[in-house]
Amino acid sequence: MTSRSVDEHAEIVRQLLARALAPVGEGVLVPDALGRVLAADVHAPIDLPVFRNSQMDGYAVASASLREVPVSLPVTAIVAAGDAGPDRLEAGTAIKIMTGAPVPLGADCVVPVEDTDAGNDRVHIRVARRPGEFVRDRGSDVTSGTLLLAAGAELTARHLAMLAAVGLAEVPVLRRPRFAVIATGAELMPAGTALAPGQIFESNSVALAASVRANGGDAVLVDHSTDVPDRFRELLHRAVEGADVVITSGGVSMGDFEVVREVLTPLGGWFGHVAMQPGGPQGLTTVQGVPVLSFPGNPVSTLISFEVFARAELRRCAGLPPQPADYAPLTAPVESPSGKRQFLRGRRVAGGVTLESGPGSHLVAALARADVLLDIPEDVTTMQAGDDVRVWEL
């Protein structure tokens, strides 16, 4: 059986994924663009506010009419939001105006209704106002042609509000890379069913699909297969039709019913051992031009394989920033076998990072409690409290 280091295998996978996941732009409707990454700069097509308008329910007047207050002025119009309103205010008069309605030429301030008797024919104004008070000028927020958002921005609700406000119906975004996920195993049953003896609930397809989505991809096919080669083959062929990348779980090690390995080896797949724990048995095949990454079936091994071999390249192609990796001090000593790079589950605590439960690759609840991976190099067998360990953010 061939063997590779983590870095060797990761580099081979990275090159395959980079080719399969070249960034492609597409237009999406603004209301559907939450979380998407802009493929191009977006400039304002109009000014905001679109026209000079009132910030208050009140009276649009010339501040010159309020030199002596209280004062009584004739009301010449009542203008609601959505009305065009008169073009011009006659000197010595007032227009009753609602929030968001256009402020006509000749008016330079708005007196809030609270400072008046709220009259409709004449208005009694008690408080003077300075020019510009409670008037929102055209273009005071954004002027037409300004850069609103640069390519690469990850769109939030606030960004969408701005894009909608300037009247954009559609924005250019990066297409989300399309992944298919196929879990394999005769023992697997979907959640919500009853388990017969020997069966377990299927969790890897759920975990992998969620990981794909959390890192900017779409899971276009998520299914599971028995260990019968024809069933796996059928799913595989559907998967490569619609996906940029296929991930399988299970069926890659040295047992008797290793369906993934059995089906993919004759198609030219590489199946071997990567010097890591968990996640040692790995496979990599190209089927009809589509990379098929085959991860081992233990739930922790599958998810760590995704972290180590797929996540960074998916994020890059989706236009998302790389996941942070740094060094942190261990709060307790750690043992590690030599010759294998260890990815231990850890948690950030006061003063550094600590181990989260044991090394077993079936410990899904411990993985759920972890928030980091501790990356212990192949040649390191013990680390002391206080030693800096490389940390991958989960």
Residues of this chain that bind ligand AMP (CB under 6 A): 183, 185, 187-188, 200, 202-205, 249-251, 253, 255, 296-299
Question: Binds 188, which of Mg ion, ligand AMP, none (CB < 5 to 8 A, cut-off by type)?
Answer: ligand AMP
Closer residue to ligand AMP in complex, CB, 255/322: 255
> Residue 41: how many CA atoms within 13 Å on its side-chain side?
8
Closer residue to ligand AMP in complex, CB, 53/298: 298
| Residues in contact with 234: Cβ distance below 8 Å, sequence separation at least 6, in sequence order | none
Tokens of 108: 């330079």
CB of 328 to Mg ion, least distance (A): 35
Measured in degrees and rounded to the nearest 5, phi and psi for residue 101 equal -85, 150
Question: Binds 200, which of Mg ion, ligand AMP, none (CB < 5 to 8 A, cut-off by type)?
Answer: ligand AMP
CB of 185 to Mg ion, least distance (A): 4
Neighbours of 86 (CB within 10 A): 17
CB of 200 to ligand AMP, least distance (A): 6
DSSP 3-state of 204: helix
DSSP β-bridge partners for residue 270: 284
Q: How far apart are CA 358 and CA 344, in angstroms?
A: 8
| Residues in contact with 107: Cβ distance below 8 Å, sequence separation at least 6, in sequence order | 60, 61, 62, 89, 95, 135
> Residue 137: how many CA atoms within 13 Å on its side-chain side?
9
Question: Binds 269, which of Mg ion, ligand AMP, none (CB < 5 to 8 A, cut-off by type)?
Answer: none
Closer residue to Mg ion in complex, CB, 185/269: 185
Q: How far apart are CA 322 and CA 305, in angstroms?
A: 17
CB of 199 to Mg ion, least distance (A): 12
Question: Binds 54, which of ligand AMP, Mg ion, none (CB < 5 to 8 A, cut-off by type)?
Answer: none
How many residues does this entry show for the chain? 394
CB of 365 to ligand AMP, least distance (A): 13
Neighbours of 29 (CB within 10 A): 10
Closer residue to ligand AMP in complex, CB, 49/185: 185
Question: Binds 319, which of ligand AMP, Mg ion, none (CB < 5 to 8 A, cut-off by type)?
Answer: none
CB of 308 to Mg ion, least distance (A): 21
Measured in degrees and rounded to the nearest 5, phi and psi for residue 389 equal -120, 145
Question: Binds 187, which of ligand AMP, Mg ion, none (CB < 5 to 8 A, cut-off by type)?
Answer: ligand AMP
Q: How far apart are CA 295 and CA 282, in angstroms?
A: 5
Q: How far apart are CA 280 and CA 278, in angstroms?
A: 6
CB of 270 to Mg ion, least distance (A): 19
Closer residue to ligand AMP in complex, CB, 134/232: 232
Question: Binds 183, which of ligand AMP, Mg ion, none (CB < 5 to 8 A, cut-off by type)?
Answer: ligand AMP
Closer residue to ligand AMP in complex, CB, 47/202: 202
Binding site for Mg ion (CB under 5 A): 185, 250-251, 297
Question: Binds 204, which of ligand AMP, Mg ion, none (CB < 5 to 8 A, cut-off by type)?
Answer: ligand AMP
Closer residue to ligand AMP in complex, CB, 123/188: 188
Q: How far apart are CA 379 and CA 383, in angstroms?
A: 11
Tokens of 81: 């939001």
CB of 196 to ligand AMP, least distance (A): 14
Alpha helical stretches, state H, the chain: 6-20, 157-165, 204-214, 229-242, 259-264, 299-305, 311-318, 364-369
Closer residue to ligand AMP in complex, CB, 105/254: 254
Q: By Cβ distance, which residue is nearest to ligand AMP? A: 297
